[in-house]
A and B are shown apart, each in its own frame.
Chain A
């Protein structure tokens, strides 16, 4: 007979750890975390820089330290962990039947496990050269920034000596500094957009501190070299983001690092039939992080790409608590859960997506917290929340908005009570 759990958490990164700890705290006692790596902690194990935990712990920690706190918290509970275990498939149980999790590891082989609730916490993976199709030859010496980070910080290999970085996401910026400190020469950081995709503090402390030039509105237009990268050609791009002929710069280098974005890892979710939002590439969720399938929850980078792990932990605690509540409600009244009504939250002018995508009316009494990204860099602007009649529900003034920095707003219950659904979040620029 299949082993049965109240809750199975897929992925043992910060999201999975926080969800499992919270579910235990809320009273679940048969909880299992499945992790394909040889240790818990997820991507944080290779993020050796500091800057984690200021919101959550009130102090600045490195990635491994932040993970260590949660791993220690989990060890205090009776949550079961299986490492080196890869989840292959999730089969949703309909009408209140348990969900099936298919996994494999070297010790126990192929396993089919049952769970009343499942938390998806698989994180994300890096976009590769293939996904953005750079022209040129295919020599060695081209890495995603995160892969280079793993080589350098965990396995102890230096990937190159003269480096060009494409993309100004945080991982690329962090790697520019890391490679420089290790004695490499970082020649340039090249960004297609007219603004950086990373946090401003990382531009300052990773590029400016080391005099590494940042070329905004530029891209890599050719890679030269037979066995190993020898040259990278960089061109300016126009407002249409197409390269402008005659603006080529040639860099002699042996390495190109790609920091061109992260993609939530949702093969399992898709396979299970969970509805995916094409904008976030993560599941569509309600405020409690429940997906379109009752009893399946999602949190962390698998849901939407976060810049700050502190928000991952907070979101995942919410998912863990909701999973516990779901299990307890099912135990009290077995069978199919009543379908919940939903109030849609729409992304309006200047907003690329919102999480959650809808709200359960029952939850509104507690107010709602919305996370989203803006489309453009703006100085003085208002974040407006409007209802179906265009009536203003709330207004939040900001002095700086950027796509690279996730925004969040809290809507008090009193304001929501008066609104007619659906809600729309939009940006109104204020002329200085």
Chain B
């Protein structure tokens, strides 16, 4: 039995996961918590949010995120990939910045539109 806090949403339910009972989860208020409890003990994943460099835009950094969670162990490698990105404004919200990031099947996408400066 392992106790953990669900981090899927800000509610932070306290979960109990029973490894001997096929990773049965209790304490969750919704199905997403059960899924979190199961994967967290077997193959923990996280959504990465960071920023990338953008030239000619309203701001110098564009916020981005993975469109689904990637293995936690890959976060540093994913940061290194994001650090290599050089974009030119304008960028559309949801635009794919790096497809299939590190072969995970997740895309790195823009989490806002970045209009060109003065536009």
Contact = CB atoms under 8 A, between A and B. Distances in A.
Interface of A: 38-39, 45, 48-51, 54, 60-65, 67-68, 152-156, 178, 181-183, 199-201, 203-205, 209, 307-308, 400, 405
B7 A205 contact: yes
Contacts of A50: 47, 49, 65
Contacts of B38: none
Nearest to B114: A64
B51 A153 contact: yes
B5 A200 contact: yes
Given A62-B111, A156-B53, A209-B46, A204 B5 contact: yes
Contact of B112 (A54, A65, A203): A65
Contacts of A152: 51, 61
Interface string B10-52: 1010100000000000000000000000000000001111110
Interface of B: 4-10, 12, 14, 46-51, 53, 58-61, 63, 65, 72, 75-76, 79, 93, 111-113
B10 A51 contact: yes
A60 B14 CA distance: 19
Given A39-B58, A65-B93, A204 B7 contact: yes
Nearest to A61: B111
A68 B76 CA distance: 28
Contact of B79 (A60, A181, A204): A181
Contact of B51 (A54, A156, A199, A308): A156
A400 B14 CA distance: 9
Q: Considering the complex of A and B, which 4 residue pairs feature the smallest CB-CB distances, nearest first?
A: A64-B112, A48-B63, A200-B12, A201-B7
Given A48-B50, A60-B8, A201-B12, 11 more contacts: A45-B112, A48-B51, A48-B111, A50-B49, A62-B49, A156-B59, A156-B61, A178-B50, A181-B50, A201-B5, A204-B7
